[in-house]
Amino acid sequence: MDSSYTRLKGGVGAPLGFLTSAVGCGIKNPAATRLDLALIYSEVPCSSAGAFTTNRVKAAPVRVTQAHLRKGDLRAVIANSGNANACTGVQGIDDAKAMCAAVAAPLGVNQSEVGVCSTGVIGLPMPMLRVEPKYNDLIDRLGAKNGSNVASAIITSDTHIKEQAISFELGEHRVRLGGCVKGAGMISPSMATMLCFITTDANIPRDTLRKAVLECVEESFNRITIDGDMSTNDTVLVLANGASGMPPIRRNGKRCKQFRAALRWLMLELAKAVVRDGERVTKFVTVQVRGARTYLDAKKVAEAVCKSALVKSSWNGGDPNWGRIIHAVGYSRALIREELVDIHIGGKAACLGGLQAATPMEELRAIVAEPEFEIIINLNQGDADYVMYSSDLSPEYIDFNRSEYAYWKQARKDGLV
Amino acid sequence: MDSSYTRLKGGVGAPLGFLTSAVGCGIKNPAATRLDLALIYSEVPCSSAGAFTTNRVKAAPVRVTQAHLRKGDLRAVIANSGNANACTGVQGIDDAKAMCAAVAAPLGVNQSEVGVCSTGVIGLPMPMLRVEPKYNDLIDRLGAKNGSNVASAIITSDTHIKEQAISFELGEHRVRLGGCVKGAGMISPSMATMLCFITTDANIPRDTLRKAVLECVEESFNRITIDGDMSTNDTVLVLANGASGMPPIRRNGKRCKQFRAALRWLMLELAKAVVRDGERVTKFVTVQVRGARTYLDAKKVAEAVCKSALVKSSWNGGDPNWGRIIHAVGYSRALIREELVDIHIGGKAACLGGLQAATPMEELRAIVAEPEFEIIINLNQGDADYVMYSSDLSPEYIDFNRSEYAYWKQARKDGLV
Interface of A with B in 141-180 (CB under 8 A): none
CB proximity B123 to A under 8 Å: yes
Q: What is the rounded CA–CA span in Å between residue B348 and residue A319?
A: 44
Residues of B within 8 A of A183 (CB-CB) are none
Chain B contact for A93, CB < 8 A?
A: no
- The predicted complex's ipTM stands at 0.79
A327 vs B356: CB contact, 8 Å cut-off? Answer: no
Give the whole-angstrom CA distance, residue A242 versus residue A19: 14
The neighbour count for residue A383, using CB atoms within 10 Å, is 11
CB A290 within 8 A of CB A344: no
Return the pLDDT at B54: 82
Question: Å from B89 to nearest chain A CA?
Answer: 7
Task: Please report residues of A whose CB lies closer than 8 A to that of B93.
Answer: none
Tell me the CA end-to-end span of chain B in Å, nearest whole number: 48
- Chain A CB contacts of B313 under 8 Å are 397-398, 401-402
Please give the biggest Cα pair distance in chain A.
69
- CA geometry: angle B248, B249, B252, nearest 5 deg: 150
B162 Cβ contact partners less than 8 Å away, ≥ 6 residues apart: B151, B155, B180, B181, B182, B270, B273, B274, B277
Instruction: Tell me which DSSP letter residue A29 carries.
Output: S
Give the side-chain half-sphere CA count within 13 A for A413.
11
Nearest to A395 among B230, B341, B396 (CB): B396
User: Has B20 been annotated as catalytic?
Assistant: no
Residues from chain A contacting residue B326 (CB–CB below 8 Å): 57, 87, 122-123
Q: For the sheet with A47-52, list strands across it.
A: A6-7, A162-170, A173-182, A195-200, A235-240, A47-52
CA atoms of A392 and A306, how far apart (whole Å): 9
User: How close B57 comes to chain A (CA, Å)?
Assistant: 5
CB-based contact, B322 to chain A, within 8 Å: yes
Rounded to an integer, what distance in angstroms lies between the CA atom of residue B99 and that of residue B135?
Answer: 9
Angle at A21 between CA A18 and CA A26, to 5 degrees: 155
For residue A174, how many other CB atoms are within 10 A of its CB? 15
Which of A317, A341, A351 is nearest residue B403 as measured by Cβ atoms? A317
Which of A317-331, B44-58, B396-410 is predicted with the least confidence, judged by mean pLDDT? B396-410
Check if A235 contacts B (Cβ < 8 Å): no
What is the structure's pLDDT at B225? 79
- Tell me if B178 sits within 8 A of B263, measured CB to CB: no
* Per-residue pLDDT at B215: 94
Of the candidates A121, A324, A402, the beta carbon closest to that of B317 is on A402
- Identify residue B91 by its one-letter amino acid code: Q
Q: Find all residues with CB under 8 Å of B392, minimum gap 6, and list them.
A: B281, B282, B283, B285, B312, B313, B315, B316
Pairing of strands B224-225, B384-391: parallel
Q: Residue A188 has what pLDDT?
A: 55
Domains for chain A: give ranges and CATH numbers. Answer: 6-276 (3.60.70.12), 284-393 (3.10.20.340)
* Sheet-wide strand order for B76-83: B114-121, B76-83, B37-42, B18-23, B143-144
Mean pLDDT of chain B: 91
Q: Which of B301, B363, B402 to mutate to test the interface with A (most CBs of A within 10 A)?
A: B402
Count each helix (H run) and each strand (E run) in chain A, helices first.
13, 18
- Asked if A229 and B351 come within 8 Å (Cβ–Cβ), the reply is no
CA–CA distance, B396 with B417 (Å, rounded to integer)? 30
Question: Does the distance separating the beta carbons of B314 and A402 come in below 8 Å?
Answer: yes
Instruction: Walk along chain A (417 residues) in steps of 10 and give the mean pLDDT of each run.
Output: 91 96 93 94 96 88 96 96 91 97 98 95 90 97 94 90 95 94 68 78 96 93 76 86 95 94 94 86 95 96 91 92 91 92 97 93 94 97 95 87 77 78
Which helix (H) or strand (E) covers residue A372, if one does?
strand A372-378
Of the partner residues B58, B316, B327, the one whose CB lies closest to the CB of residue A232: B327
Q: Give the B window 52-91 contacts with A, CB below 8 Å.
A: 54-58, 84, 86-89
φ/ψ of B7, rounded to 5, equals: -75, 140
Contacts of A362 (CB under 8 A, 6+ apart): none
pLDDT value, residue B191:
41
Chain-chain contact of B309 with A338 (C-beta, under 8 angstroms)? no
Whether A308 and B229 lie within 8 Å, measured CB to CB: yes
Q: State the first-to-last Cα distance of chain A, in angstroms, to the nearest integer.
A: 48
Average pLDDT over residues B1-6: 89
> Which candidate in B193, B199, B235, B359 is catalytic?
B193
Q: Which of B84, B231, B395 sits opposite A396 (nearest CB)?
A: B395
Which residues of A, range 340-369, sit inside 8 Å of B by Cβ?
341, 351, 353-356, 361, 365
Chain A residues within 8 A of B314 when measuring between CB atoms: 401-404
Closest CA to A318 of A293, A269, A283: A283
CA nearest to B314, candidates B345, B341, B337: B345
The 10 Å Cβ neighbour count of residue B245 is 12
Cβ-defined contact of B356 to A123 (cutoff 8 Å): yes
CB contact under 8 A, A330 and B399: no
Nearest C-alpha of chain A: how many angstroms from B5? 37
Distance of residue B225 Cα from the nearest chain A Cα, in angstroms = 12
Residues whose CB is less than 8 angstroms from the CB of residue A1 and which lie 6 or more positions away in sequence, other chains included = A166, A265
Q: Report CB contact under 8 Å: B328, A229.
A: yes
Whole-angstrom distance, CA of residue A121 vs CA of residue A233: 10
Tell me the nearest-neighbour CA distance from A334 into chain B, angstroms: 8
Tell me how far apart the alpha carbons of residues B184 and B274 are, in angstroms, rounded to a whole number.
Answer: 6
For residue B82, CA distances in Å to A348, B25, B197 come to 27, 10, 17
Please tell me whether residue B378 adopts helix, strand or coil conformation.
strand
pLDDT band at B118 (very low <50, low <70, confident <90, very high): very high
Q: How far apart are CA B404 and CA B417, in angstroms?
A: 14
Q: Which residues of B touch A87 (CB under 8 A)?
A: 323, 326, 338, 351, 354-356
DSSP, collapsed to helix, strand or coil, labels residue A224 as strand
Residues of A in contact with B323 (CB under 8 A): 84, 86-87, 121-123, 404
Choice among A395-409, B71-85, B124-138, B270-284 with the minimum mean pLDDT: A395-409
Give the count of Cβ contacts less than 8 A between chain A and B.
226
Residues 6+ apart with CB under 8 A from A253: none
Interchain CB distance below 8 Å, A121 and B323: yes
> Contact B330/A232, CB-based, under 8 Å?
yes
Alpha helices by DSSP H, B250-360: 254-276, 295-307, 309-316, 322-330
pLDDT-above-70 percentage for chain B: 97
Partner-chain contact A399 B403, CB within 8 Å: no
Contact B356 A328 (CB under 8 A): no
- A121 close contact with B: CB closer than 8 A: yes
| pLDDT for the residue numbered B187 | 61
Residues of A in contact with B330 (CB under 8 A): 55-58, 230, 232
Q: Taking a contact as any Cβ pair under 8 Å apart, which residues of chain A between 18 and 47 contact chain B?
A: none
Instruction: Name chain B contacts of A337, Cβ cutoff 8 Å.
Output: 56
Provide the 3-class DSSP secondary structure of residue A170: strand
H or E stretch covering B66:
helix B60-71
User: Choosing from A193, A225, A232, A359, which is the catalytic residue?
Assistant: A193
Look at residue B90 in the predicted model and tell me its pLDDT: 94
Cβ within 8 Å of residue B366, ≥6 positions away: none
Q: How many helices (H) and strands (E) does chain B have?
A: 13, 18
Cα distances from B238 to residues B68, B99, B139, B178, B370, in angstroms, run 14, 19, 21, 10, 35
User: What's the order of all strands across the beta sheet hosting B195-200?
Assistant: B6-7, B162-170, B173-182, B195-200, B235-240, B47-52
φ/ψ region of A145 (left if φ > 0, alpha if ψ in -120 to 50, else beta) reads left
Question: Are B323 and A395 within 8 A, CB to CB?
Answer: no
- All residues of chain B having their beta carbon less than 8 Å from the beta carbon of residue A225 are none
Query: How far is the C-alpha of A368 from the C-alpha of A194, rounded, in Å?
Result: 28
Residues 266-305, chain B, touching A (beta carbon < 8 A): none
User: Least CB-CB distance to A330: which of B57, B309, B338?
Assistant: B57
- Residue B241: predicted pLDDT: 95
Q: What share of chain A is helix, strand, coil (3-state, %, to 5)?
A: 35, 25, 40
Interchain proximity B335–A56, CB inside 8 Å: yes
Specify the pLDDT at position B192.
Answer: 40
| pLDDT of B156 | 86
- The answer to whether B330 contacts A57, with C-beta atoms less than 8 Å apart, is yes
Inspect the interface and report whether the beta carbons of A318 and B121 lie closer than 8 Å. Answer: no
